[in-house]
Chains A and B, each alone.
Chain A
């Protein structure tokens, strides 16, 4: 790891480490005044309805903050975040760490000297407001701190002429289509549907219903396919709708390159991140479209070079008005 990368990783993970240290310090201070069972979950009114042992809560807190910190450090180094998006990413990390850190510490405070069965006045809602405020403040601090490390330079070649084309005759119509099925999509759909039904039956349909609906919508995307044609780039499922379409008018150019699902998109599925979005079913080659707005849209698909070349050809055609 170069020293620049080390700096980036440290800065990305720093807020989570600080939040953990603050939590530990508070924990040591009030340890003797905590009940054996902490009230850790509260209903909308603020009354406690979930409990956890003191040790378990500490373990849970440490694990969540450390995992998030590691994820932020990993993405900070490998996420191909350039310039402004890198700064927003660092700021976002500070905001998330402050929000979580504040709430996790507030849970300790409300439990101080609390009787068995939870604190008398529950979890005051003002804590959530304060947590949001802390997130905004820390986010601003993070944005400022991000200037301490040099933001990575954008190495991408922006010259549209250097991109590959497909030779088309005048009047020839071309389209490109390819399936992007992944084994985990049907599994995820089944999990969503099962969760929807279980929650609906066991708790209430206000949460179960939307889960079920989400599962059904995702179900139409079990075997999605990508199309490139005169209308632009489309990812669609079994039915004509819902679909994701980027029209040619919004594109500046298209490239074929390898993307990393976790580092660049923070996971799999339909991802929306600062400066980029995409349909990501795996790491590997993808059509990456540069939009006129400066953002990027990516679809992971095999033979992406052909799809990207056709997009550039169609863009040329549109510009010259043929």
Chain B
């Protein structure tokens, strides 16, 4: 799996690591069950802090793309399909756009609800 981070970007490094995994799942480059590199290994590889990697992994876990098992490391979940990863990307983009427009959380949620009920 290809990981890329840009230290000069304003996006937090942990989020950039999470985005790398999301992209790999969306492109079908990784299949469910595949293991992610250990946080220590990836941190050394990219020259970032272990906690930064773990923050990225935590984020992916909350999104349901990976599962973290004690002693067994991180692995792509069975339900992590390319479609799901792409949906997550869209949600992130929508949230970022809403923030740029100065929308509040409730306004955005109202928009989504409206779309769901349409």
Contacts and interface: CB of A to CB of B under 8 A. Distances in A.
Contact of B37 (A169, A227, A310): A227
A173 B47 contact: yes
Interface stretch (A14-22, A110-118, A176-184, A266-274): A176-184
A192 to B, nearest CB: 24
Nearest to B38: A225
Interface in B31-66: 34-37, 41-42, 45-47
A153 interface: no
B4 interface: yes
Interface in A173-221: 173-179
A45 interface: no
Contacts of A310: 2
Interface in A149-169: 166, 168-169
Given A177-B1, A177-B42, A229-B45, A171 B6 contact: yes
A287 to B, nearest CB: 13
A178 B4 CA distance: 15
Nearest to A174: B4
Interface string B58-98: 00000000000000000000000000000000000000000
- Report, as a range, how many residues of chain A touch the other chain: 20 to 34
Interface in A203-254: 225, 227, 229-231, 236
Interface string A107-127: 000000000000000000000
B48 to A, nearest CB: 8
A85 interface: no
Nearest to A302: B34
A314 B10 CA distance: 24
Nearest to A169: B6
A177 B37 contact: yes
B4 A172 contact: yes
A175 B42 contact: yes
A306 interface: yes
Contacts of B35: 179
A307 to B, nearest CB: 9
A49 interface: no
B67 to A, nearest CB: 16
B4 A171 contact: no
Contacts of B7: 171, 173
Contacts of A174: 2-5
Contacts of A166: 2
B104 interface: no
A310 B3 CA distance: 11
Contacts of A236: 41
A168 to B, nearest CB: 7
A66 B36 CA distance: 46
Contacts of A303: 1, 29
B117 interface: no
B45 A175 contact: yes
A175 B34 contact: no
Nearest to A307: B2
A292 B6 CA distance: 30
A153 to B, nearest CB: 35
A230 B47 contact: yes
A225 B41 CA distance: 10
A174 B2 CA distance: 7
A245 B68 CA distance: 28
Contact of A306 (B2, B8, B34, B41): B2
Nearest to A178: B1
Contact of A225 (B4, B5, B37, B46): B37
A173 B1 contact: no
Contacts of A169: 6
A173 B7 CA distance: 8
Given A173-B5, A177-B37, A227-B41, 18 more contacts: A168-B4, A169-B6, A171-B7, A172-B5, A174-B4, A175-B2, A175-B42, A175-B45, A175-B46, A177-B3, A177-B41, A177-B45, A178-B1, A179-B34, A179-B35, A229-B45, A231-B45, A303-B29
Top 3 A-B residue pairs of the complex, sorted by shortest distance between their CB atoms: A177-B37, A175-B45, A229-B45
